[in-house]
């Protein structure tokens, strides 16, 4: 039995919809399936505007252009995140101010954000790691107080929610001024490579569409609002092919089924491993669990290395995750902040277990059993 870390799930209708897209005579961006997906996201999660992108990276780049990042602007984000969270802002000239993770979760330590705000700070980028909400009430309050934008990196956070202290429950990605989602093959809902920009602040809606369409007012032209379109702004080709949107639509139709299966796998891991000597994933009271990922945290780097090797010997693909960005070859000499102990700890000790729709009970039992064997030694 060979259990990979991830296996993309095929719901069955993907290629049927791709053929429909071809029959519609439009497989470039903003075709019928793109519009279906965008409407779904707007209606399901309350985004004011949803725009599919070729990746979450590209959605973050759109956000960076929209908030008009310039040379020297500062952007606060966790160090324990994917390079794209930072690169999207570095490409526009920003200085990245890295914040530590919480001791009990890899997400940004909300209590350490305000100490990093300066007169140059333009935005906070919380990353909902493993789909677990950051404390958005705290973050939005800091942003309001200092006049900052909040861009949610919701790459892993589809179908995940946050409850405010007043009891209001909102979908992740609908709270910050802007948010970015991923449909990369390792995510809950996929199209290989793909993403989404969610716009929640009215001031960005019109320009978002222009930047998305290579800096042209083409969308307004096709709606008949103007009589010719042209170059009006910077921008890029952020639209995915309708082939990708057609694939994504087949997945979205099965969202409930996919989520039920992932949550049942997640719950079994949690039940079966709670007596093992490992730090397990916690879901704060204000958050929900979207079962994007099941991670465990070893005591130290040595133990993690041995555990991954042990699982690999049993043909199980368990993998570590990010390396602290403030220590990366690219940023180490640009970073002049404090040590970020928790970020480094997760860099050294976190392991992700296989969690995908087609994981069988037998496979999961063999993973659990392999971990139990390792820790019983």
- Give the interface with its own copies as residue ranges (CB under 8 A): 4, 6-8, 10, 14-15, 18-19, 21-22, 25-29, 54-58, 61, 82-84, 86-88, 90-91, 184-186, 190-194, 214-216, 228, 230-237, 239-244, 247, 323, 325, 328-331
Q: How far is the CB of 185 from its own copies (least distance, A)?
A: 4
Tracing tokens 């709670």 back to the chain, one arrives at 274
Q: How far is the CB of 256 from its own copies (least distance, A)?
A: 21
CA distances from 251 to 7, 32, 183, 264, 290 (A): 14, 16, 10, 18, 16
Q: For 76, phi and psi rounded to 5 degrees? A: -95, 130
Closer CB to its own copies, 21 or 287, in the complex: 21
Q: How far is the CB of 93 from its own copies (least distance, A)?
A: 9
Closer CB to its own copies, 145 or 334, in the complex: 334
Residue 49: its H or E element: strand 49-53
Closer CB to its own copies, 18 or 139, in the complex: 18
Closer CB to its own copies, 92 or 288, in the complex: 92
Q: Which two tokens stand for residue 165?
A: 């202290």
Q: How far is the CB of 135 from its own copies (least distance, A)?
A: 27
Q: How far is the CB of 61 from its own copies (least distance, A)?
A: 7
Give the CA-trace dihedral at 152, 155, 161, 165, to 10 degrees: -30
Residue 271: its H or E element: helix 255-273
Q: How far is the CB of 2 from its own copies (least distance, A)?
A: 11
Q: Which two tokens stand for residue 27?
A: 């497989």
Q: How many CB atoms lie within 10 A of CB 234?
A: 11
Closer CB to its own copies, 84 or 288, in the complex: 84
Task: Using DSSP, state whether 185 is helix, strand or coil.
Answer: coil
Closer CB to its own copies, 141 or 330, in the complex: 330
Contact 108, 136 (CB under 8 A): no
How far apart, in whole angstroms, are the C-alpha atoms of residue 189 and residue 171? 16
Contact 69, 87 (CB under 8 A): no
Residue 19: its H or E element: helix 14-23
Tracing tokens 């690169």 back to the chain, one arrives at 87
Q: How far is the CB of 220 from its own copies (least distance, A)?
A: 12
Closer CB to its own copies, 216 or 288, in the complex: 216
Closer CB to its own copies, 86 or 157, in the complex: 86
Q: How far is the CB of 36 from its own copies (least distance, A)?
A: 15
Q: How many separate helices (H) and strands (E) can be counted in the chain? A: 12, 12
Mention every residue, 6+ apart, whose C-beta is less than 8 A from residue 22.
Answer: none
Closer CB to its own copies, 1 or 280, in the complex: 1
Q: How far is the CB of 357 from its own copies (least distance, A)?
A: 12
Buried residues in 339-368 as b, exposed as e (16+ CB within 10 A)? ebebbbbbbbbbbbbbbbbebeeebbebbb
């Amino acid at each position: 039995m060979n259990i990979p870390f991830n296996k993309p799930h095929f719901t069955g209708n993907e290629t049927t919809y791709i053929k429909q897209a071809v029959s519609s005579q439009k497989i470039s961006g903003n075709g019928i399936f793109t519009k279906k997906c965008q409407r779904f996201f707007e209606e399901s999660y309350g985004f004011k505007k949803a725009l599919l992108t070729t990746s979450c990276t590209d959605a973050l780049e759109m956000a960076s252009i929209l908030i008009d990042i310039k040379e020297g602007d500062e952007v606060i984000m966790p160090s324990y995140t994917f390079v794209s969270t930072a690169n999207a802002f570095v490409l526009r000239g920003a200085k990245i101010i890295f914040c530590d993770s919480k001791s009990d979760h890899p997400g940004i330590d909300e209590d350490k954000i305000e100490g990093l705000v300066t007169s140059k700070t333009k935005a906070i980028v919380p990353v909902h790691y493993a789909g677990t909400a950051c404390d958005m009430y705290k973050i939005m309050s800091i942003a309001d107080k200092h006049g900052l934008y909040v861009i949610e990196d919701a790459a892993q956070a589809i179908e995940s929610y946050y409850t405010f202290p007043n009891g209001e429950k909102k979908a992740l990605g609908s709270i910050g001024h802007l948010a970015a989602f991923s449909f990369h093959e390792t995510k809950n809902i996929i199209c290989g490579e793909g993403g989404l920009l969610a716009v929640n602040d009215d001031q960005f809606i019109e320009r978002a569409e222009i930047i998305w369409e290579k800096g042209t007012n083409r969308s307004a032209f096709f709606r008949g609002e103007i009589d010719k379109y042209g170059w009006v702004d910077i921008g890029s080709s952020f639209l995915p092919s309708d082939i990708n949107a057609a694939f994504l639509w087949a997945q979205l139709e099965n969202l409930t089924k996919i989520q039920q299966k992932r949550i049942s796998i997640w719950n079994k891991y949690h039940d079966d491993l709670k007596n093992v000597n490992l730090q397990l994933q916690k879901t704060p009271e204000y958050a929900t669990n979207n079962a994007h990922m099941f991670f465990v945290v070893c005591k130290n780097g040595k133990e993690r290395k041995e555990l991954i090797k042990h699982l690999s010997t049993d043909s199980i693909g368990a993998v570590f995750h990010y390396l602290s960005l403030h220590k990366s070859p690219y940023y180490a000499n640009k970073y002049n902040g404090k040590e970020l102990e928790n970020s480094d700890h997760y860099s050294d000790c976190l392991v992700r277990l296989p969690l995908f729709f087609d994981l069988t009970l037998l496979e999961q039992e063999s993973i659990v059993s392999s971990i139990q064997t390792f820790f019983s030694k």
